[in-house]
Amino acid sequence: MSHSTTGKTLNLKLRVWRQKDNASRGEFRDYALVGISTEMSFLEMLDILNEQLLQQGEEPVNFDHDCREGICGTCSLMINGQAHGPDNGTTTCQLHMRRFHDGQMITIEPWRAKAFPVIRDLVVDRSAFDRIIQAGGYVSVRTGQAPEANSVPISKNDQESALDAAVCIGCGACVASCKNASAMLFVAAKVSHLAQLPQGAPERAARVLGMVGQMDSEEFGNCTNTSECEAACPAGVSVTHIARLNREYAKALYGSPLGLKGELLTSSGTGGD
């Protein structure tokens, strides 16, 4: 594999987390790279490190990646203690080496959360997010082809707010950056997106109860409103969606037949068959 080295180059020191599997004890190992172009992406730099390790007969560093365009949410690295690195609104794959300086030590480690166990090196298991989505992050309405834009009137504010939530790529940076490893911003984005659109109305109560319940069962931490998740989110999802999640949850829990209201009606003999 050839890599462009035009323009300015850097000599770097890398401190990378290496771990055989979740049952094994991990450790940081130091590596040196010479002549890294500032035009390269961060993942291209890791590609070069792996080529160097293979030439030396060593095991390459395992890390997640897919689209390398900042939209799939696959890349997931803590870089010098920051989720996705020093740039705001940027995924690891869109981070470029011009953000670092010659001779710098770069520490690279995986997401740290009980709900995201390490699989190998920098790769973590984020299937907890998949199970949260399966618990309610969908609509049952038969959508078919795209409808006429004006056939279902939705206010401009609701449209924009729903789309602001829909940009979540599910990378897990919010969890990794939170001191409590909370998944509230991720769940809030999914709930808030569908709660503001008519297509999401049929499962509205079941969705929030199911997703929050699954989030708790995955042992993510609690939200304590430090907003670090919003600062780390490469898609810029706002913590205002967490406030909407809390409102949706309260309405479903206390005002829905699926929540405590339903339990009280059933226990009193007025809500059952």
**Under CATH, which architecture does the 9-119 domain have?**
Roll (3.10)
Q: Per-domain residue ranges for the chain?
A: 9-119, 126-267
The domain defined by 126-267 carries CATH number 1.10.1060.10 = yes
pLDDT of res. 3: 53
93 contacts: CB under 8 Å, gap ≥ 6? 41, 42, 43, 65, 67, 68, 69, 70, 75
Q: Specify whether the CB–CB gap between 126 and 173 falls below 8 A.
A: no
Whole-model pTM over 0.85: yes
pLDDT above 70 for 208:
yes
- Over residues 52-74, the pLDDT tens digits come to 999 999 999 999 999 999 999 99
